[in-house]
Amino acid sequence: MGLQRAVGDAESALVDKACDMSFLERRSKSKAGLDGSRWHQSISSALSIMGVGIMWLRVILGIFGVMFLFNAVNFLLSPVDAAIGLGMELLDDMGRSSQVGDIGGFFLGSGAMLLLGAYQKNSAWLRAAAVMVGAVAVMRILAWGIQDATFATVFIGIEILIAGVALYAASSFDAEA
């Protein structure tokens, strides 16, 4: 009888310990934001209070996409104005080809991804656009830190905003599906 009671107590202790561990693991993941839902719920709540729903996210992303496509077309039709708008001078020869091709291509591709993601409610397109736009912000910051370029506060802020909205919308689209 004493042995059975000791085994029963040991089993109880192990079960209690296992329950405590899973609780602690869930709590630490939640506190660290590793469960992925906590930050999304917080932002969702804030945006719901402001009246921003899925449709508004799609509209905002569509506006960003159209703006990017406008920049792409502007690099083709009026490259001098497009370059000045980004704080650059239009280069000659191979430099001009690189400016129009690389920068125009970035705006064309990113704008298309933003529009496709918004229209199709496709999170993969939005995440791809966020990576592209976010990478530009990172490179601008690195150019400032390493190459002594001017810190482009406005451009970096806009790029972070666009990348953040795209990532939030992608998460919202996934949660809705």
Number of residues that make up the chain: 177
More reliable by pLDDT, 81 or 18 = 81
Tell me: the pLDDT tens digits for 44-92? 555 554 445 888 999 999 999 999 999 999 999 999 999 999 999 999 9
**Cβ-based burial of 173 (10 A; exposed 0-12, middle 13-18, buried ≥19):** buried
What are the structure tokens assigned to 144, written together? Answer: 């400032």
CA distance 153 to 174: 31
Give 1-12 pLDDT, tens digit per residue. Answer: 554 554 455 455
User: How large is the average pLDDT for residues 103-121?
Assistant: 97
Q: How confident is the model at residue 16, as a pLDDT? A: 54
Residue type, 118: A
Q: What mean pLDDT do residues 90-116 have?
A: 96
Secondary structure (H, E, C), 1-66: CHHHHHHHHHHHHHHHHHHHHHHHHHHHHHHHCCCCHHHHHHHHHHHHHCCCCHHHHHHHHHHHHH
Side chain identity, residue 86? L
pLDDT-above-90 percentage for the chain: 67
Average pLDDT, the chain: 82
- Could you give phi then psi for residue 152, rounded to 5 degrees? -85, 75
What integer pLDDT is reported at residue 94 of this predicted model? 96
